[in-house]
Amino acid sequence: MNSASCGLLPRRTVEAVKALADETAAGGRGGAGSFEAVEAARAGFARLVGVGPDRVAGSSVAVHAGLIAASLPPGAEVLAPEGEFSSVVSPFALRGDLRMRYVPLADLTGAVRPGTALVAFSVVQSADGRVTGLDAVRAAAAAHGARTLADASQAAGWFPLDAGAYDCTVTGGFKFLLCPRGASFLTVTEEAQSALPPVFAGWVAAEDPWNSTYGPVERLAATARRFDEPPAFLACHGAEHSLALLAEIGTDALYAHATGLAARFREGLAAIGHSAVPGESAIVAVPGLGGREPDLAAAGVMVSARAGNLRAAFHLYNTEADVARAPEVLG
């Protein structure tokens, strides 16, 4: 019950990664991977979050956040929730010349003000599974001319998400997207693409990559691919198949399954005297109970301890038996 930390790899994903590793060991694949798999992963993620593949780039959450941080002028105000995940806020905070402002998540909408340049937040909070009031935050940002950066790492894969509703989204793939580590996705609206400097550009970001391997890139890709980093081929070969599996099941079915199990888990915890953070989230956090994580691990129940909370997360492979097991151990 630990997809918020790391999702389980589907069999088809494991087979794809093993096949590439075997081919590379035998010297059978030039460049140790396939750019077709990279494009298939890009397209697969785009389908899940409701945008076109031309808006999607690949690298890592911190690198993508750093790219967005580099686009802001000195003195710009960045608004974020208190306790936000480090990779979302550190690139802005460590720049040193931006004005960081943190407020409780519940106050985020009302804290957007004239002069706020960017609102950076997670769709679903890592520490406790709370879901941000997305419509209200977007409306407040639009009213004050602020851009939005949404981290969907704890949401994409079970939560219905329209990435096109935000200027930028960043998503680590190894959690609810069930991808190998190394797969991560940035989405950028066409307007936001024009504002981002290609500070990490290499040959793969060129319009014609194979004729851009020496000397400065003369022409960057016309799409969000201009923000690509060199692909982690093993991760991308696996991501293609993980994302295809999620698409076959469908986000609506995943949402109903995961949140249904989470709701019954909250009920089971309440029955033994433990109050979880309320809400309709696939992630369930119990304040003050993080110290019991080793007890659950010893009983074969994988959860996390985060910010003092005991954190469980439900996904497509979890069952009613999982829901019942943890309260039995805790009781």
Give pLDDT, residue 15: 98
> Cβ distance 120 to 87 under 8 Å?
no
DSSP 145: T
Residues 6 or more apart in contact with residue 312 via CB below 8 angstroms: 1, 2, 262, 265, 283, 284, 285, 303, 304, 326
Give pLDDT, residue 300: 95
Strand bridging mode 283-286 / 309-313: antiparallel
> Cβ distance 242 to 74 under 8 Å?
no
Give pLDDT, residue 28: 81
Give pLDDT, residue 240: 98
The pLDDT tens digits of the residues spanning 3-30 come to 999 999 999 999 999 999 999 999 987 7
Give pLDDT, residue 161: 95
Give pLDDT, residue 42: 97
Give pLDDT, residue 169: 98
With CA atoms as reference, report the closest residue to 245 among 39, 3, 8, 22: 8
Q: 305 — phi, psi (to 5°)?
A: -110, 120
Give pLDDT, residue 173: 97
Residue with tokens 């109903």: 256
In order, the DSSP letters of 253-303 are HHHHHHHHHHHHHHHHHHHTT-PPPPSS-SEEEETT-GGGHHHHHHTT---
Question: How far, in Å, CA of 212 to CA of 215, rounded?
Answer: 7
DSSP 158: T
The pLDDT tens digits of the residues spanning 227-275 come to 999 999 999 999 999 999 999 999 999 999 999 999 999 999 999 999 9
Residues 6 or more apart in contact with residue 210 via CB below 8 angstroms: none
Question: How far, in Å, CA of 30 to CA of 7, rounded?
Answer: 30
- What is the model's pTM? 0.95
Question: How far, in Å, CA of 164 to CA of 46, rounded?
Answer: 10
Give pLDDT, residue 29: 73
Q: At what angle do helices 61-70 and 86-93 cross, to 10 degrees?
A: 30
- Stretches where the chain sits below pLDDT 70 are 31
